[in-house]
Amino acid sequence: MLTALRNTYAPAFNTTSMPATTGAKGAEPPVGPAEPSTPRSLPTNAKGAMDRDQFLKMLTAQLKNQDPLNPMDGKDMAAQLAQFSTVEQLIQMNKTLSGQQSKDSEIIDAINKLGESQSARSDDLAQLIEGQMAMATVGKTGVTPGNTAYVDRDGSGTIVVDTGARTGTGRVTVTDANGNTVGTVQVDVAKAGQQSFALGDLFSPKLPAGKYSFKFEVATDGGQFQAVKTYTAGRITGMKYENGNPILIIGDSLAVPMSQLTQIRA
């Protein structure tokens, strides 16, 4: 019966034909252990990878053509199925994570673009507001650090100083554009800190209209004069834009960024 079973499954493995002998009842089996059959190769997909259906077809063909005397161990088959399932799950997980990462990147890009757009709009709005504020100062008196004095046609003008803690006798020296002294006068500094003086009240006769430089000094206890901090004060006559920023015009030519004004007076 064993001989008949081997003859029945002869196509599943190679055998070596033995010459018949007189009186033999049948062909003798091959010498040595039988070798498992080699499964036929199955085509893969376009990318060269094997999917689930192709793997199951290959496994079915392997089971059909295996050596019945040396079949595949059930544990080995289960292990192959488990390994394939695990690999397939990992591949699917990787695809899912890759898709999620792509979506996350798109969301991040959209948020960054929105932030940039909002920042640009905020800058434009800030420039617009600053421009409106600058326009509202035209015709008023602006104060900024400096030592320039502007005298109008009627001889009026204002100088602003900060004497700190000093009080007492002060001295104002005014020079023209060439550095020539056009007038020196003493004033009474009755209070400390920042204060202003009207040029039309200090000089008689009044100074001609124009642009001047001035120095303000306060006498110490020893009688020596020491210079104090001075400011430029003048009527804001216009405004212009430079690089998107409003620039105020004080007098006829002094250009001052609005951010550098320390005071705006009516």
Q: What is the CATH number of the domain that holds 225?
A: 2.60.40.4070
Q: Is 14 a member of any domain? A: no
Radius of gyration of the chain (CA): 51
Work out the average pLDDT over 40-63: 63
One-letter amino acid of 84: F
Q: Mind listing the pLDDT tens digit for each residue in 189-223?
A: 989 999 999 988 888 888 888 889 999 999 987 77
Count of structural domains within the chain: 1
Backbone angles phi, psi at 168, to 5 degrees: 120, -140
pLDDT at 62 over 80: no
Q: Is 228 a member of any domain? A: yes
Output 44 or 241, whichever has higher pLDDT.
241
d(CA 230, CA 210): 19
One-letter amino acid of 212: Y
Q: Is 91 a member of any domain? A: no
Q: Is 103 a member of any domain? A: no
* Structural domain of 151: 139-265
Q: Is 166 a member of any domain? A: yes
**pTM (global) more than 0.75:** no
Q: Is 227 a member of any domain? A: yes
Q: Is 259 a member of any domain? A: yes
Q: Is 5 a member of any domain? A: no
Q: Mind listing the pLDDT tens digit for each residue in 101-156?
A: 776 677 777 777 766 766 666 666 666 777 777 778 888 888 889 998 888 888 88
